[in-house]
Amino acid sequence: MSAQSATAVACANIAIVKYWGNRDDALRLPANGSISMNLEGLFTRTRVTWDELRVTSGEQREADSLVINGRRMAGDGLRRVSAFLDLVRKMAGIDARAIVESENNFPAGVGIASSASAFAALTLAASVAAGLDLEPAALSRLARRGSGSACRSIPGGFVEWQAGTGDEDSFAASIAPPEHWDLADCIAVVSAEQKPTGSTEGHALADTSPLQACRVADAPRRLDLCRRALLSRDFDALAGIVELDSNLMHAVMMTSTPPLFYWQESTLTVMRLVREWRLGGLPVCYSIDAGPNVHVITEGAEAGHVADLLAAVPGVQKVLVAPVGGPAELVE
Ligand code: DP6
């Protein structure tokens, strides 16, 4: 084949019912379903070019090239992307090497799920450049193989990832478009350092916690409550379930072997203040991923005020504000 390229953008997403633990690590089949909202303005833009240069089987991994934010990647980062590209090569029946150029407009490794936007953009760009014309569900399934949460950055707005029974039916779909509810995520950044234990390693530890089985067994109930709160735009109901779900995931993390503690002092300060502000009548709730930063969900009309309140909290270095975002898209 001659050189073919495509460029795609995809938003990050914040899970409000979270994915933690896999039934199958290789296929990234999650222990439980999850619900998220896409984050407008926090995105990855990725260009994939399938090069004319043919390589013999097994050599693609060395041959692929990956540049992220202007830095050439090697080692584990490149290996993970090449293993994913092998899936695309297989689906498209090609043996070309890939040239991948990617840019994030937000800091990596701080609990703002760069792997979600990165693998969603890579899925769309790589598949289109390879001549594949995948349906949204097939794109989401493919993105899931790169990073579980990436399957939720393919569709737009408020999204649910069905745990499914296997590879075929474990994908994400939109449950409401971005304009359904004017919410925003105000991300209180308390540390921009790389997290010590990444999500992939964390998922593998989930079953070592005696609490994981309870968390997973109760997930259908939480998903149901969250879906209903979203569809009826009931902020109080949403707040209760979002904080419960985040607390449950961190309880599992803290009781794994070895235990994972992602919070810092200022994480707890923000959590306490968010609860106080809500008791005072402000529509706010918190959710924390595998990092110390706090995602504070609020209504769009309050986002500026909430961002100002968060910026004044000791230990908060900066606040990023993201409304609800759309689906992954091709650009150019
Ligand atoms: C805590 O999707 O980053 O953000 O599949 O190994 O790439 P991999 O994991 P990843 O895990 C996300 C975990 C989480 C919760 C969530 O986004 O649902």
Domain containing 299 — which CATH number?
A: 3.30.70.890
24 and 45 in a single domain? The answer is: yes
Q: What is the pLDDT of residue 330?
A: 98
Mutate to test the pocket of ligand 1, among 203, 246, 250 (most ligand atoms within 8 A of CB): 203
Ligand 1: atom nearest CA of 18 is 18
101 and 226 in a single domain? The answer is: no
Ligand 1 midpoint to CA 159 (Å)? 15
Mutate to test the pocket of ligand 1, among 110, 117, 162, 199 (most ligand atoms within 8 A of CB): 199
Among protein residues, the one whose CA lies closest to atom 14 of ligand 1: 289
What's the structural domain count of the chain?
A: 2
CA 89-130-117 angle, 5° bins: 85
Other CB atoms within 10 Å distance of the CB of residue 135: 9
- Domain-located, residue 330: no
Ligand 1 midpoint to CA 279 (Å)? 30
153 and 197 in a single domain? The answer is: no
Ligand 1 midpoint to CA 68 (Å)? 20
Ligand 1 midpoint to CA 152 (Å)? 10
DSSP H or E stretch at residue 185: strand 183-189
- Domain-located, residue 31: yes
**CATH code at 140?**
3.30.230.10
Ligand 1 midpoint to CA 167 (Å)? 17
- Domain-located, residue 282: yes
Mutate to test the pocket of ligand 1, among 11, 16, 19 (most ligand atoms within 8 A of CB): 19
148 and 250 in a single domain? The answer is: no
Mutate to test the pocket of ligand 1, among 36, 119, 149 (most ligand atoms within 8 A of CB): 149
Q: Which of 269, 47, 34, 70 is nearest to 158 (CA)?
A: 34
- Asked if residues 58 and 249 have their Cβ atoms less than 8 Å apart, the reply is no
Residues 6 or more apart in contact with residue 15 via CB below 8 angstroms: 34, 35, 36, 149, 152, 287, 289
- Asked if residues 77 and 66 have their Cβ atoms less than 8 Å apart, the reply is yes
173 and 191 in a single domain? The answer is: no
Ligand 1 midpoint to CA 21 (Å)? 9
151 and 202 in a single domain? The answer is: no
Give the torsion sign (CA, 151, 155, 158, 162): negative
24 and 140 in a single domain? The answer is: yes
Pairwise CA distance, residues 110 & 123, whole Å:
23
Domain termination site, one of 179, 206, 230: 179
Domain termination site, one of 138, 158, 179: 179
Pairwise CA distance, residues 115 & 77, whole Å:
11
32 and 168 in a single domain? The answer is: yes
- Domain-located, residue 331: no
148 and 17 in a single domain? The answer is: yes
158 and 283 in a single domain? The answer is: no
Residue list, ligand 1 pocket, CB within 6 Å = 15, 18-20, 28, 34, 113, 115, 147-149, 199-200, 203, 289-290
Ligand 1 midpoint to CA 309 (Å)? 28
- Asked if residues 319 and 303 have their Cβ atoms less than 8 Å apart, the reply is no
33 and 167 in a single domain? The answer is: yes
Q: Which two tokens stand for residue 17?
A: 């019912």
- Domain-located, residue 266: yes
Q: What is the pLDDT of residue 57?
A: 56
Computed on alpha carbons and rounded to an integer, the radius of gyration of the chain in Å comes to: 19
Give, as one character, the DSSP assignment of residue 208: G
- Domain-located, residue 60: yes
Show pLDDT as tens, one digit a residue, over the chain (332 residues): 556 999 999 999 999 999 999 999 999 999 999 999 999 999 999 999 999 756 555 554 458 999 999 999 999 999 999 999 999 999 999 999 999 999 999 876 555 768 999 999 999 999 999 999 999 999 999 999 999 999 999 999 999 999 999 999 999 999 999 999 999 999 999 987 777 788 999 999 999 999 999 999 999 999 999 999 999 999 999 999 999 999 999 999 999 999 999 999 999 999 999 999 999 999 999 999 999 999 999 999 999 999 999 999 999 999 999 999 999 999 98
Domain termination site, one of 130, 147, 179: 179
Residues 6 or more apart in contact with residue 182 via CB below 8 angstroms: 299, 300, 301, 323, 324
Ligand 1: atom nearest CA of 111 is 4
pTM above 0.85, yes or no: yes
190 and 144 in a single domain? The answer is: no
Q: What is the pLDDT of residue 180?
A: 98
Ligand 1: atom nearest CA of 149 is 2
Domain range enclosing 36: 4-179
- Domain-located, residue 209: yes
